[in-house]
Amino acid sequence: MTTLQHNSFEDYTLGAATFDLSGLPKEYYTLVDGSKSIIWVQPIFQALGLKSLLAASLPVEAFTHAVIRSKDYTAIVIKQPSNYLALLIDPQSDILNERFLGWALSFDATSLKHNPKFQVI
């Protein structure tokens, strides 16, 4: 059942990006047959910068995830143990729940290099 859950959540992924713990981008993954635009990554980069700025000045609770919504996309950024993972999902999907967040917390974005649906840009 875990494999089915993993595949079903990965099927909702339209793009991904990884950031180091200081918030700098590392890799971008886009759909092979989709847009190569990574415009959705900019708000995540800004949100991570704002998080760092706030954490340096104010006592802020532990960051676990953030959701950035627009009319064209929904992006979620998750703090993993060694990096931040951002996932682009369809804005119409309704998968943002505790199970999805748990899956995203342990998802290895480098596995998308072996998924023929994605390309690294």
Q: What is the pLDDT of residue 72?
A: 82
C-alpha torsion sign, points 16, 85, 91, 50: negative
Express each pLDDT in 33-48 by its tens digit: 877 788 899 999 999 9
Q: What is the pLDDT along the chain (121 residues), one digit of tens a residue?
A: 333 344 578 888 999 999 999 899 999 999 998 777 888 999 999 999 988 888 788 876 777 899 999 888 899 999 999 999 999 998 888 888 999 999 999 999 999 999 999 999 8
Distance of CA 98 to the CA centre of its chain: 15
pTM for the predicted model, two decimal places: 0.84
Establish how many alpha carbons lie within 13 A of residue 46's alpha carbon, considering only the half-sphere containing its beta carbon. 8
Q: How far apart are CA 8 and CA 21, in angstroms?
A: 28
Express each pLDDT in 2-21 by its tens digit: 333 445 788 889 999 999 99
